[in-house]
Amino acid sequence: MRKYPPNEPVCGAIYDNASADNPFLAAMPEMLPREEFLSTIRSTPGLPHSLPQMSPEERRQSLPLLSALFVPMDYMNAVYDQLYRAIRETYSTRTAVEEIRRINVLFNGREGIPYATQAASGSVLGVPGIGKTSTIRRALETMPQVIEHTEYMGQPFYCKQVLYLRIECPSDCSVKTLALNLVAALDRAIGSDYLHQLISLRSIAASAVATQVKILCMTHHVGLLLVDEIQNAVETARRNRQIKPLLKFLVELTNDTATAVYFVGTPVAEQLFTSQEHLRRRTRGIRLLPLKPDGTYRRFLEQLWPYQLTPQQTPLTEKLANKLFDFSGGIPAYILKIFQESQAQALLQGQGRIDERIMQRAIDILAIKVPKTYSGGTYLSDFEVNDAEADEPPPAPVPAALPREPPEESPAPVPRLYANQRGRRAAARDAADLVVAFSAGGDLLQFLRERNLLEEWPESC
């Protein structure tokens, strides 16, 4: 039985046995076990009942249902785990009294005493199309966005605890725009009207908006701030060098309000994060690489494959799977796109089902270009948890709460993977070929002697 009903963005607070002076921590939703989390985020739209009777046009019209398909993978649980812990850390860091003290400090523009511990911060970077945003959105949707408090321990206590806010990094990289984005997200979450009020003040300074945003984050007890598309900041930074104020604001926000901040974006942002030591420390996190052509990929395809709206079903062959992998680079969004377009092309061509030729045509039309190298990271496949291990009942509640560390990341750039080996086929060489002997790396003289290929002078000479 879950503490809060799923897919309810606003819930009344339910308190458990957390410390008496911290209603926000007491009202936190519980962390979901892996299996429950994965089944919660799964989305498997039903195929139309009248599919066999549908015309090709109707079938093409139904193809967008593939966009609603969401296949859960183990890396998603790792992302959820990080975000959940970040939210919890925010509420552990600041007590109610400390929060009030901090609001007054901010309001009066004084220098405050730093928090005893820092709020969590980090980043989730990954190749475009890998599913970062969808994963984060679905992970966060497993908990209510807003918890409404009206009474705590018999005393009136009216406030709305915003567990998380998702905003996009403004393309102009301005602090004011980011702050206004944040206020708009807050308005959407709790039904307030701060944005209208702020934009009506034409001459308000960016610093004043920033201060108000910090205060609002404290007043509404924002647990986690997710800044998506952080690569926008890098691109703008290159143009007009405005990145520093924006990042400074976000760092200040973390320090002043103890609100966890997570950045989400493509690996382009990594160069920005590593440019300064304090930023590097605050932006560590999961770096996602595409799927490997392995079992995880095959399981992904197996869940995708039944969604064929063509009159006939094509079985999932090794050849098709490899082709799909090689042209999608193992990026789930591309896999889905090619699969969808292949069906559209098959229907357009009057074909009963997809085949290699149709798929190639779809690939050509989509003109997908997969990068040849990626900056370091962890392949989606490497997050996979051994099912046997996962099925075991947890021995005690403690392991469930412990974070599952993702496999170690490799900082060096990694080449993209192919299902079908690329390049010229290796020429067949004789066993006595010197190149073969050299490649084997043994004692070359011994090799030559054994094969009687060495001409040696007699010792008497």
Partner 1 sequence: MLTFFPAPYEDELWYGIITRYHIRSGNTCWKYTIQELFPETKGYPRLGDTMPNTTMQIIAAQLPKNVLSLRDCALQHSLFPFRMRFQPLDKKREYLQEFLDGKNMQPKFLFTTKKNGAEMPLRFCPQCIADDGKQYGESYWHTEHQIASLPLCPKHLCRLVSMPKQNTMPIGQQLILPPEEPPDADFAATETEYSLTEALHYMYTLPYETSPNILSENLSTAVENAGFLEAGSVLRQSWDVQQLYEALVERFGSEIVVRCFGRHITKAHARRLRQHEIYSTEEYALLAVLLDIPPPAFFSGEALTLKLKEKMQKLECQGQVYTKSRAAQLLEIREDQLLPYAKRFGVRPFWVQSGKPCTDEKRQTYPVTIHLSQQERDTLDAYMAANNMDVYGHALRYFMQKTVNEWKNPTAD
CB 376 within 8 A of CB 287: yes
φ/ψ bin of 229: left (φ > 0), alpha (ψ from -120 to 50), beta (otherwise)? left
| Shortest Å distance, C-beta 152 to partner 1 | 9
| Shortest Å distance, C-beta 202 to partner 1 | 13
| Shortest Å distance, C-beta 94 to partner 1 | 11
Helices 295-304 + 318-328 axis angle, to 10: 100
* Closer residue to partner 1 in complex, CB, 94/138: 94
| Shortest Å distance, C-beta 206 to partner 1 | 12
Residue 409 CA, distance from chain mean position: 15
335 token code pair: 């896999």
Burial of 298: CB neighbours in 10 Å, binned 0-12, 13-18, 19+: middle
* Closer residue to partner 1 in complex, CB, 138/160: 160
| Shortest Å distance, C-beta 14 to partner 1 | 16
165: three-class secondary structure by DSSP: strand
Output the DSSP codes for 59-75.
HHHHGGGGGG-B---HH
Q: How far is 399 from 31, CA to CA, in rounded Å?
A: 12
* Closer residue to partner 1 in complex, CB, 104/446: 104
Q: How far is 332 from 369, CA to CA, in rounded Å?
A: 14
* Closer residue to partner 1 in complex, CB, 110/372: 110
Handedness of CA 252, 258, 264, 268 (dihedral sign): positive
| Shortest Å distance, C-beta 193 to partner 1 | 8
428: three-class secondary structure by DSSP: coil
| Shortest Å distance, C-beta 36 to partner 1 | 31
* Closer residue to partner 1 in complex, CB, 200/421: 200
Output the DSSP codes for 78-112.
HHHHHHHHHHHHHHHH--HHHHHHHHHHHHHTPPP
Q: Which helix (H) or strand (E) holds 211?
A: helix 206-219
* Closer residue to partner 1 in complex, CB, 158/457: 158
* Closer residue to partner 1 in complex, CB, 31/208: 208
Which residues contact partner 1 by CB under 8 A?
96-101, 103-104, 106-108, 110, 150-151, 155-160, 190-193, 197, 201, 204, 208, 211-216, 218-220
| Shortest Å distance, C-beta 189 to partner 1 | 9
* Closer residue to partner 1 in complex, CB, 195/401: 195
Pick the closest to residue 70 from 7, 6, 140, 131 (CA basis).
131
Output the DSSP codes for 309-330.
-SSSPPP--HHHHHHHHHHHTT
| Shortest Å distance, C-beta 167 to partner 1 | 17
| Residue type at position 195 | L
| Shortest Å distance, C-beta 102 to partner 1 | 8
CB 328 within 8 A of CB 131: no
* Closer residue to partner 1 in complex, CB, 35/151: 151
Side-chain half-sphere of 272: how many Cα atoms within 13 Å? 26
Angle 39-331-6 (CA atoms, 0-180°, nearest 5)? 20
| Shortest Å distance, C-beta 296 to partner 1 | 44
Radius of gyration, CA atoms only, the chain = 28
Q: Which helix (H) or strand (E) holds 228?
A: strand 224-228
* Closer residue to partner 1 in complex, CB, 108/386: 108
34 token code pair: 């892996």
* Closer residue to partner 1 in complex, CB, 192/360: 192
